[in-house]
Chain A
Amino acid sequence: MTSVVLHPGMVLIAGALLLVALRGTARAAASLIVPAVALYLVWQVPDGVAWSAPFLDYQLALISGDRLSRLFAAIFAVMAFGGALFALNQKNPLELPAALIYAGAAIGVTLAGDLITLFVFWELMAIGSTLVIWSAGKGSAYRASLRYLMIHLLGGVILMAGIAGHVAEFGSIAFQRMTLDSPAHWLILAGFLINAGAPPLSAWLPDAYPEASWSGTVFLSAFTTKTAVYVLLRGFPGTELLIYIGLFMAFYGIVYALLENDMRRILAYSIVNQVGFMVTGVGIGTEMALNGAAAHAFTHIIYKALLLMSAGSVLLMTGKRKCTDLGGLFQSMPVTAICGIVGALAISSFPLTSGFISKSMISQSAADEHLFYVWLMLAAASAGVFLHAGIKFPWFVFFQRDSGLRPPDPPRNMQLAMLLFAALCIVLGVYPAPLYELLPYAVHYEPYTGAHVVTQLQLLLFSGLAFFVMLNYLRRTLTITLDVDWLYREPGRKLARESVAGLSRAGHKLEAGVRSQAGLWGGWILQQFGAMGAGSPWPTGSMALWVMVLLLAYLLLYYI
């Protein structure tokens, strides 16, 4: 408790509430200043617990800083700033405040030193992000946001059950490293993984994110999954299960992204894919792998936001989101196209971009641990990334055949935001030392060795070749790809309806059964009470019957 620190997340949230009241230039200025202040405050967070408060029988640690939490809090603040800059001309007055609450809650999670604080911000994040999706204002977005919210609240309650179990078992609420030795920790892990977009519930992500507005998706891409990576890094490093979950996610993302036609859904699936790399890194669990996962989360936020900004610009200027409707846009939208390509190169971890210096750390750590198959699959997945995000997105949107669309580049602030993030991608790629400085463990890794660069270039060239050879198969048609979400969108809903109706039917049947079985005496009771109860929603007679049934049941049970 050396100095008085303001909570950066709460500052963001307070700023978001302030934004609701502001209009015009003041609002624009405030929406940039608030994240900047938050970023400054993140650097003021000292090591150890800085804010604590009593709650129930426990001592909450509202701010608890170390290198890892500062790293994530910082990139979240940077992201909030870039996203706000990009979203300045968003007409919907709700979206930006909601996004800043979302960002503030994400920072709150990273700074939380105990599980209860973490849970509170975790839920706030779910609400903030739901509002972001909802403010797209379309009916489909509204329905998607409700599905999204239900999945996240489900994750939240599983997490809460886990936290309660952890407290019951260990008596401490501190958020520390856990092992999968008790059901409580399994539940906590499940809660975390739902937010990470892990199977079997990955589908919430590509279901909901593309339904947000052109600026909303940019925010959504950054926080939820990356806070999940953060809590996994802190809570479950070196859990072997995570390697397989991560690899599954990496390939799941690739397969669905290759099949997808909607440009922002492609990028949404690619989030699952990229988070898969990070989760694998957490699962490997060596210092370098954890560094790699953290660094990859950092760079991923930047280039994925950049890609979605470029896709958002296209959506805003053309109103179209399907690859089949787009193409040839580089002619009239050069800035957007160039920034999109930089983002695409970075996600493919092309040398000299930020993706290269982070992702290679994860693969290298797999190699160092002699996890040959893991390394191989990571390499294959890297090639797949280049296929679906690195080439597919820019090729179908900006090049390919000419769609005849000639929209101009988006407004100045959006270009500025894209250029800022594109510059960050390149700078971090060329000069990774500052990022390596921030990582939780000391870095003994040199990305630019001949072997690394040549391997990566070979990989990229061959997969690039494969893309153009197979172009005819990859050309998208107007199809819908089914995912797990269909299960709860269609049969799930029917099941819910049916089960409620079924329950009431069963109740009536049971009652009818009891009535017919009750014999003379029961019949007499019903005649007495049933007639009087006729016409009311629940006949008084049937109520009285239930009382009798219960009494008899009790007597029977007691006497046995």
Chain B
Amino acid sequence: MITPHFPILQVVLPLIAAPVMVLARRGTLAWLLAVAVSWAGLYISLALLAQVADGGVISYAIGNWPPPWGIEYRIDRVNAFLLVLVSLIAAVVVVYSRASIGAEVPREQQYLFYAMYALCLAGLLGIAATGDAFNLFVFLEISSLSTYVLIAMGRDRRALMASYQYLIMGTIGATFYVIGVGLLYLMTGTLNMADMAARLQDVTEVRPVLAALAFITVGVCLKLALFPLHVWLPNAYAYAPSAVTAFLAATATKVSVYVLLRFYFSVFGASAVFAALPMGKILLLLSLAAMFIASAIAIFQADLKRLFAYSSVAQIGYITLGISFDSVTGLTAGIVHLFNHALTKGALFMLLGCIALRLGGVRFDNIRGIARVMPVTSFGIVLGGLSLIGVPATVGFVSKWYLVLAALESGQWWIALAIVLSSLLAVIYVWRFVEAAYFREPDPGIVKLKEAPLEMLVPAWLMIAGCIYFGLDASLTVDGASQAAATLLQGIR
């Protein structure tokens, strides 16, 4: 049977697809292959989630080398949830990307685009699936390197600069991570995460471990764009092709959050990170700073993609805020927001891509009156914006609700207030779009534009529909998140 091999197939399918695409040298063929592996990946991830739903753990030994000597793929409820998220976003975005990439990337480069896309997907899924700290680094590099190429494919020449900056920062981040892993290896003699966690208990010399924690924290926080390490993100999001922005915004930072969670809760142990060290407070302050400062910067942006990129930095703040509480509710809030924000931001960037397809850009001075000619797209952006604000009946509300509950549970009233107050800033930047799109007279150039093609609108609206559906009936996402949170907290304390 093939089912036992699902953990490796999840990662290997897109990994093998990439060179095949390069060999085929056909854009359409590459796209078909990308669609096939993405949807197969979605199926596999759902099957994996079903297998671990009862709280079990799948341990897959690659090449039958048993852990801790061989590389182990280890699926529990936490990363199964994440695998579903990444595969889902990938499956939706790949359908969308055909028309979008068709317009934004030269024809002769399109097969390369899909190859990079498949590599990036393989990298992200690999990070999520693996139970080996060094293997994780390898996948981190695979996803990062392919991401640099994907960003550089943007039409704007500044995409090169953005990609270059991300390359520098991403490399620093990955290096820090690998230094951290090296220190851990030094102290424990193992690279398998579960094994590492068990051996760390007996380590008496804690200084190298603390240094490892610092290196890994900073390295991963760079990748997840935690304030103030976010500076690479706005440019990368703004100048990358639309489909890439949607994909990265919904997956890349989320996977990095997962890495942080994994190391904090499963390797170092929550008590080492949060009780013995001031990690919770640092994370809390940085998260709050992200929520307010990044939102405030978003308000002043002239380009919608940059605006929503800064909003992403702010929303990542909500996720890390949830983590900083170190409680079931807090982690549930963080994880559910991870999912909800991926849906919301993915949908928003896809819809912005629809406008970019027709207009060539999404600057505020270009999009005046766009709602008259692109009503479906504009309304979708409004709904996504409402979700960012956290209006009831959208997923944003569900996240905020649990975040506020977690803040109250920890007895910190002022944080609950800060959470709800920061959503006022989101009101302002979403309103800027509403005002420009609905209440401004369109330029003569805009009037003759048409609505975006269905093959882009349908995937984007699917995500918007998800934002509403999971906002009304949150049982699926919240249950998944709270189970994942419970699993994480079961780890060594």
Contact = CB atoms under 8 A, between A and B. Distances in A.
Interface string A148-163: 0110011001101100
A160 B420 contact: yes
Contact of A543 (B169, B296, B401): B169
Contact of B218 (A119, A168, A184, A550): A550
Interface in B212-236: 213-215, 217-218, 221-222, 228-229, 231-232, 235
B282 A557 contact: yes
Contact of B413 (A165, A533, A544): A165
Nearest to B424: A153
A165 B420 contact: no
Which of B228, B392, B400 has most A Cβ within 10 Å?
B392
Interface in B421-472: 421, 423-424, 427, 431, 472
A56 B417 contact: no
A555 interface: yes
B432 to A, nearest CB: 11
Interface stretch (B112-120, B339-347, B404-412, B484-492): B404-412
Interface stretch (A235-243, A367-375, A534-542): A534-542
B218 A551 contact: yes
A558 B176 contact: no
A120 B478 contact: no
Interface size class of B (residues with CB under 8 A): 35 or more
Contacts of A557: 277-278, 282
A544 B168 contact: yes
Contacts of B176: 547, 551
Contact of A540 (B165, B222, B282, B421): B165
Contacts of B404: 160-161, 164-165
A40 interface: no
B373 interface: no
B214 A554 contact: yes
Q: Is the interface of A mostly helix, strand, loop or mixed?
A: helix
B420 A158 contact: yes
B416 interface: yes
Interface size class of A (residues with CB under 8 A): 35 or more
Interface in B388-412: 391-393, 398, 400-401, 404-405, 408-409
Contacts of B293: 503
B300 interface: yes
A546 B215 CA distance: 14
B235 A158 contact: no
A333 B219 CA distance: 76
Nearest to B474: A56
A120 B215 contact: no
A555 B214 contact: yes
Contacts of A555: 210-211, 214
A559 B165 CA distance: 31
A409 B345 CA distance: 55
A113 to B, nearest CB: 16
Contacts of B405: 164, 167-168
A116 interface: yes
26 contacts: A55-B474, A123-B392, A146-B431, A149-B427, A157-B424, A160-B404, A160-B420, A161-B416, A164-B401, A164-B408, A165-B404, A165-B408, A167-B405, A183-B413, A187-B417, A500-B296, A536-B165, A540-B168, A546-B228, A547-B218, A550-B228, A551-B215, A554-B282, A555-B214, A557-B277, A557-B282
Given A540-B169, A554-B214, 16 more contacts: A55-B472, A119-B392, A150-B427, A153-B424, A157-B420, A157-B424, A161-B419, A165-B416, A187-B417, A533-B165, A538-B165, A540-B168, A550-B221, A555-B210, A557-B277, A558-B277
